[in-house]
Structure 1
């Protein structure tokens, strides 16, 4: 691909300025081109910030940002740019005064008529393809998501980047003006995800899984998405999946966040977060979580298609009629397994994992993504061609996804089921009390016993009074532990077992009894040890050494007189 000369325009007139006239006066690096980065929504802005890696270490290229904030989903864009340290933000009504060489956007809905369309514009994707019909406020009908307006395409300077050749045929059938105004570049995001799969354990540590399996819930926006159809699914999974065997993360389309606001979203999912939900922020985290996931539950959004093409076990819990027939997402709907939300979700997840074939959608992946493994180079070449500069002679950077930073809280109370598998071995299955309901399954087969275990950090005050087991997980010395046991016996007389963590285990009391010492061969398990002691007391067993198993956690505890 050859760079176009900036020296002469097609009319023979002097070329338009490509950098600010102040650059030679105030600048240091002698930048030759300015790229105007047009932000509009959280979704598109996050994709743009990722695309800036194509200009990494190139002192020839300057960056100026603007926000076309006329979307109903522009909330939070300025904050996202500020967090990224994008300090040079030009007001939208001033963009025609910016002497840029190239404008880039990841939204097809920017107000193109307010740009100088004698200058090139590249539209990057913010999902996979053109798979949905979405509302069009301008006409009151629907439009194909991802496709710029007829006006923008007719200027000849707006270039739409595509993941594969089939998308070009699809768009030409819908809008003939797109012919010759597309470039098939593949999907750098898919290349990034695929190349990051060997780092899955790194991201699992970052998410604090501690040996648990991660179920990633993914929901697109609007009522046909997973949350629009099953708004309580996150709570349902948390209530039915043993907390020491599974973790649940939720990735919501950023338009959900921008429409309702962060405070409202967090309020709606407060109980789920109290139960351990990893609530991923709107500007990222889904990429690393998808790499880390053992299982994905999704809908007709792009994350589900990414998951299938990465070879992840996938169950679809919702699917919208807004999907475009014949597109890869619609093909996925017909070929993927579906989650029966009102059924036994644990059994369905285990079956999905057990019967999973990683190559099930390999053929679909080959159809969806051109230039596999090389999309970053191809897209960078397109950008530099439009800039009129030769692309750098170094490799186009492919960076791992940023570490996830979910809104999270460790559960502080559990409904616990205990069962002895041997005289000196007890198995615990714990479910977060914050989301348990009366009709949730009870693991009482085989003589299992049930109790409520509560840490003193539990936010709901009524649970302390209801606890059969009350624990303080914060490690202190023995004197402080004994003092807490004494006070808590007065304050919470209903607790049958009380336990306070110490450096080598915990001190515990059985109601109206003396304190005992519990030594454990692993740290930070005081609450589990207290539940195991409860099981011993209820069963009338006097074993001094017990192996305790709760999902991925296993330890040996020794009970002795203090």
Structure 2
């Protein structure tokens, strides 16, 4: 009796490339999304979204090694993403890889497009500025996607060999935040804010010169001084959560939580929470810069002036935003900031984030399809506004 196999026929060329033979839809191109941290994963989610709906493109996600990658694979899995182990990803061939860092760029078998992870001059690492830098001897990526035209001049100064592959595409967070300004009331209702509530959003980047690292007493004061009529939410950079863990955050800041401060968990979408703010208190980090596009007062709880680029957006913000001071009640400082708020000056800060406002989807999709060697879909590229957030009480219990 002759047995006939009913299993799939494996294409030897496909198998040699490491392509999964078991897939039902065989796409023309494979794109590797290198999400090394939660911050990177959120940024690249917008990039990957520009390829949605095109069955010619198979998206695959991996989490490269990083001291800050804790929780990244879990966040992707919660969104239905099967995560390809890094060792397998590095052993396979892809038609394109997208990332927000130069680290591990030379370890993948694919042309690499590097997108900036946030706002400001230092969003793309520069030579000699740490592990995210494009250092001597490292291959130049296939593309470097920038947010603002002025960054081309900076790139020419710092890394001229990358200038021919640089492309100004704009900033997805800026576009999504500004698109959501009209949804502010909807976001506030979703958060559970009453009409009379004043929402104070505190934002801290990571490292010891951040607000949380150098001026945590600001949040302590907010938790004690702002009670009736105020709600306080703390947006901490995901690297803080990854480095210390949610247990330690609750252990250190349990008294803040008990007084009503909401420690927004790292996997939550911070953009609609920021858009719901009446006041933002921050530092030199990207989220504070994005707040400049909201048309609300921005105050600085800390600001390491010596650690920011003198002509960058953060430096401009540092010159116009009022500082939190220790000897005046915080409610009084917030009221003064509102009374003296200069919307035009703050808008000039926002102008330094992107020179292509509203254009990220269009420009970034053009770049991606050029690198893939495919024609773009007929439907226009777009970024949807952020979805309404969970209630503050739910976010508070999730942290």
TM over 0.5: yes
The match for 1:103 among 83, 90, 97 is 97
**Contact kept? 1:18, 1:33, Cα under 8 Å:** no
Asked whether the equivalents of residues 131 and 328 of structure 1 are also in contact (C-alpha less than 8 Å), the reply is no
Matched, 1:360 2:351: no
1:455-474 correspondence runs (5 A): none
Query: Which is strand-richer, 1 or 2?
Result: 1
Map 1:507-526 to 2 at 5 A: none
Q: What are the Cα deviations for residues 256-298 of structure 1, in whole angstroms up to 9, with x where unaligned?
A: 1011011101222212112211211112332111110011001
**Of 13, 28, 36, the match for 1:40:** 36
Report the secondary structure of 1:325's partner residue.
coil
Give yes or no for the alignment of 1:379 onto 2:372.
Answer: no
Residue in structure 2 matched with residue 393 of structure 1 by the alignment: 378
Change (3 A) 1:67 1:406: farther
Contact 1:19 1:34 in 2 (8 A): no
1:192 pairs with 2:169: no
Report the TM-score when normalising by structure 1. 0.64
2:318 corresponds in structure 1 to: 333
Q: Does 1:29 align with 2:25?
A: yes
The gaps in structure 1 that reach 5 residues or longer are 1-15, 137-141, 412-562
1:151 aligns with 2:137: yes
Picking from 63, 72, 75, the partner of 2:67 is: 72
TM-score by length of 2: 0.88
Aligned ranges for residues 387-536 of structure 1 at < 5 Å? 387-405=372-390, 408=393
Counterparts of residues 26-175 of structure 1 (less than 5 Å): 26-69=22-65, 71-87=66-82, 89-109=83-103, 111-116=104-109, 119-131=110-122, 143=129, 147-152=133-138, 155-175=139-159
Distance in 2 (CA, whole Å) between partners of 1:262 and 1:407 is: 17
Q: Give the gaps of 5 or more residues in structure 2.
A: 1-12
Q: Is the 8 A contact 1:150 1:175 kept in 2?
A: no
Confirm or deny: 8 A CA contact 2:200 2:231 kept in the other structure. Answer: yes
- State which structure, 1 or 2, has the greater radius of gyration over its C-alpha atoms: 1
Q: Quick check: 2:192–2:391 contact (8 Å CA) kept in 1?
A: no
More helix by share: 2
Paired residues in the alignment total: 382
Whole-angstrom CA distance in 2 between matches of 1:372 and 1:254:
26
Structure 1's 284 and 60: CA in aligned 2 closer, same or farther, altered over 3 A?
same
Matches of 1:406 and 1:113, distance apart in 2: 43
CA contact (8 A) 1:279 1:408 kept: no
User: What is the CA distance between 1:19 and its match in structure 2?
Assistant: 11
How far apart, in 2, do the equivalents of 1:144 and 1:370 lie? 27
Aligned mates of 2:108, 2:18 — CA distance in 1 = 19
Q: For the aligned residues, what is the CA RMSD?
A: 2.7
Instruction: Give a deviation string over 1:438-460, Cα, whole Å, max 9, x none.
Output: xxxxxxxxxxxxxxxxxxxxxxx
Shift of residue 187, structure 1, vs aligned partner: 0.7
CA distance in 1, matches of 2:224, 2:380: 47
Cα 1:135–1:271 change in 2 (3 A) is farther
Structure 1 position 229 matched with structure 2 position 214: yes
Deviation at 1:90, TM superposition (A): 2.6
Question: C-alpha displacement at 1:85, in angstroms?
Answer: 1.6
* Maintained 8 Å contact 1:279/1:406: no
Q: Deviations over 1:421-474 (max 9, x none)?
A: xxxxxxxxxxxxxxxxxxxxxxxxxxxxxxxxxxxxxxxxxxxxxxxxxxxxxx
User: Equivalent residue for 2:237?
Assistant: 253
Bigger relative contact order (CA 8 A; separation at least 6): 2
